Chain A
Amino acid sequence: MEGIRRIGWTVSQHKVLSICMVLISIIVLSGLLAPLIAPNDPNFVDLMHKLEGPSKQFPLGTDQLGRCLLSRLLYGTRVSLSLALLIVTSCLVIGTIIGCFAGYIGGKVDGLVMRICDAILAIPSLILAISLIAIWGAGWKQMAVALIIVQSVYYARFIRGLVKNIKQQTYITAAKIAGTSTLRLMTRHIIPNLLPPLFIVVTLEIGWVIMDISALSFIGLGVQSPTPEWGAMINEGKSFLRSHPRLMIVPGVMIFCMVAILNLLGEALSERKGLSRLLPKWAKEAKGS
């Protein structure tokens, strides 16, 4: 009983937060359980039923090849989310290593690493990703690598700023005097104090990465057909915009919802942690503007 009351109190205190959490869990669960809840095989072509409206068998209708739109949407959630998670996690690891290294050592090493990052950040990230894919050829692996390279730079700068900030704290000096080694200083003092702001940034960033993945897939550079992915689905549906706008609107709404929810969640979190004023400042510094 006590537990339920506490949950109730938490929900009423953090309305936006809890609503976002519930919606995200619904989307993530529907992606995870896609094989169980999808009414049809997402890649089963049935030209007899092409471009049909919603019916009992196809709750959201079918596309130009007669594939069930709802099933494709559910399987697309899996692809989009897992790709976004993969990219963000890799960026986080690479960014943390570079950022901690540059931020901790400081001086000329820091200057050199950060000027390289500046050079990369000077080019809009999506355009840089497109040119990298143009060199390597289209496909989801190339897209992931390109996005990881482009985004890691941003993370590295952001984390470097945080590390520099933490390094100036007195408790780091105190720990050094207590005889703590550099490695332990990193793992016990610096990285734990990086986590709260990083967690919020990651929440916001996943939304943007989903946008990037969809954008690249939309122009045919990312996830290739027939794999269901939201951006690729919009791309496939664009020739039928006039006759069957449903084919574009449904995945479009899905992208919109996902990105909006993740942004709201990130903002609610940063407000709760009292970081709402600091984060934009740090992010701006990281972007180098």
Chain B
Amino acid sequence: MLVVDHVTKKYGTSSWFHRNKPAKSALSDVSFTVEPGTCMGILGESGAGKSTLGKIILGLLPPDSGSVRFEGVDLYRSDRHTRKKIRRNLQVVFQDCYSAVNPRMTVRQIIAEPLRNFERLSAQQERSIIVELLETVGLAAEHLDKNPRQMSGGQLQRVNIARAIALNPKLIVLDEPLSSLDMIVQKQILQHLNELKDSKGLSYLFISHDVMAVNNLSDRVAVLDKGMIVESMEANAMFECSHPSSQRIIHAIHEANRLGP
């Protein structure tokens, strides 16, 4: 469904008065595919290029070379009309739930935004859809007219998920959606994501540095190190990885867990 093909991205600076500085490579020759109804986990340390990859897949940042195809449509080389159609099937949940919502909007407005952009609904229909979405992610209708500031991180991240699934997308990019939450809420949200995947046939691209969460949600895992995919494998074979970098990343967390209680 999603095919990432030899994507390379370099970062350099350019302005009117400065010559381009030698570019730093953020991603080099990244390729993978996400099948319908499955979850692909991208595991990597900070600075490995995870977020850059997320942006490229979301159509926000053109890669220097390579292509991203979603349902056979190239995200960067097709016309506007086709891209607009693709848009609604590709949604996102960001890491920081508080900065991912406009602080001056209510929960109802936040979730209604994608609906209003793509569909013509009466106020009645819109309300019932939003309430339904809130219930799907485990929130009650009483939160409808709350402000983001009045909600906890976990609640707000659920609102973000509700916004992402509002248009019944086919793929959701989860850009470290759990890192700003505490353990218990992380578990609950993971469970919701798992349920949604099964009930709606969603696919995920789960970008994270949390080995356990990736293991829990993903079907396949790719390990990203210094902009390159060093190894990719089935999630249940994760701990038998062979590449030194992926061993380091995966076992570091494992060690940390063993040191704990």
Residues of A within 8 A of B (CB): 108, 111, 169-171, 173-181, 184, 188-189, 192-193
Chain B residues near A174 (CB, 8 Å)?
Answer: 92, 94, 100-101, 160, 163
* B99 adjacent to chain A (CB < 8 Å): yes
Given contacts A108-B16, A179-B118, contact A192 B113 (CB under 8 A): no
Quick one: which of A108, A171, A180, A193 contacts B100, CB cutoff 8 A?
A171
> Chain B 86-116, CB within 8 Å of chain A: the 1/0 string?
0110111010100111111000000001100
Chain B residues near A179 (CB, 8 Å)?
Answer: 84, 87-88, 114, 117-118, 167
A180 touches B60 (CB 8 A): no
Chain B residues near A111 (CB, 8 Å)?
Answer: 15-16
Residues from 46 to 88 in B contacting A, C-beta threshold 8 Å: 58, 60, 84, 87-88
Nearest A residue to B169 via CB reads: A177
Taking A173-B92, A177-B58 as given, write out 16 further A-B residue pairs in contact, using a Cβ cutoff of 8 Å, ordered by the A residue number.
A111-B15, A111-B16, A169-B99, A170-B94, A170-B96, A171-B101, A173-B94, A174-B160, A177-B87, A178-B114, A179-B84, A179-B87, A179-B167, A188-B113, A192-B102, A193-B102
Pick 20 A–B contacts, CB within 8 A, sort by A.
A108-B16, A111-B15, A169-B99, A170-B94, A170-B99, A171-B100, A174-B94, A174-B101, A176-B60, A177-B60, A177-B87, A178-B91, A178-B114, A178-B117, A178-B163, A179-B87, A179-B117, A188-B102, A189-B102, A193-B103
* Nearest 5 A/B pairs, CB to CB: A178-B114, A179-B117, A170-B99, A170-B100, A171-B102
Given contacts A108-B16, A193-B104, contact A177 B91 (CB under 8 A): yes
Chain A residues near B15 (CB, 8 Å)?
Answer: 111
Chain A residues near B58 (CB, 8 Å)?
Answer: 177
Docked complex Cα distance between A111 and B16 (Å): 8
Nearest B residue to A168 via CB reads: B99
Quick one: which of A173, A181, A192, A193 contacts B117, CB cutoff 8 A?
A181
Chain A residues near B90 (CB, 8 Å)?
Answer: 177
Given contacts A178-B114, A179-B114, A189-B102, contact A173 B60 (CB under 8 A): yes
A191 to chain B, nearest CB (A): 10
> Chain B 34-55, CB within 8 Å of chain A: the 1/0 string?
0000000000000000000000
Residues of B within 8 A of A (CB): 15-16, 58, 60, 84, 87-88, 90-92, 94, 96, 99-104, 113-114, 117-118, 160, 163, 167
The main secondary structure of chain B at its interface with chain A is loop
B128 to chain A, nearest CB (A): 20
B153 to chain A, nearest CB (A): 14
Quick one: which of A171, A176, A192, A193 contacts B99, CB cutoff 8 A?
A171
A278 to chain B, nearest CB (A): 15
Chain B residues near A192 (CB, 8 Å)?
Answer: 102, 104
B113 touches A175 (CB 8 A): yes
B60 touches A178 (CB 8 A): no
B87 touches A175 (CB 8 A): no
Docked complex Cα distance between A170 and B51 (Å): 12
Docked complex Cα distance between A136 and B92 (Å): 56
A162 to chain B, nearest CB (A): 14
Chain B residues near A177 (CB, 8 Å)?
Answer: 58, 60, 87, 90-92
Docked complex Cα distance between A169 and B58 (Å): 16
Of B60, B113, B117, most buried by chain A (CB within 10 Å of CB) is B113
Docked complex Cα distance between A180 and B110 (Å): 12
Docked complex Cα distance between A111 and B14 (Å): 13
Chain A residues near B103 (CB, 8 Å)?
Answer: 171, 193
Docked complex Cα distance between A175 and B87 (Å): 12
Nearest B residue to A107 via CB reads: B15
A180 touches B117 (CB 8 A): yes
Docked complex Cα distance between A189 and B105 (Å): 9
Docked complex Cα distance between A179 and B114 (Å): 6
B148 to chain A, nearest CB (A): 9
Nearest A residue to B160 via CB reads: A174
Chain B residues near A171 (CB, 8 Å)?
Answer: 99-103
Chain A residues near B96 (CB, 8 Å)?
Answer: 170
Docked complex Cα distance between A12 and B182 (Å): 39
Chain B residues near A188 (CB, 8 Å)?
Answer: 102, 113
Chain A residues near B92 (CB, 8 Å)?
Answer: 173-174, 177
B104 to chain A, nearest CB (A): 5
Docked complex Cα distance between A184 and B113 (Å): 10
B181 to chain A, nearest CB (A): 16
Chain B residues near A184 (CB, 8 Å)?
Answer: 117
Nearest B residue to A112 via CB reads: B16
Nearest B residue to A192 via CB reads: B104
Chain A residues near B102 (CB, 8 Å)?
Answer: 171, 175, 188-189, 192-193
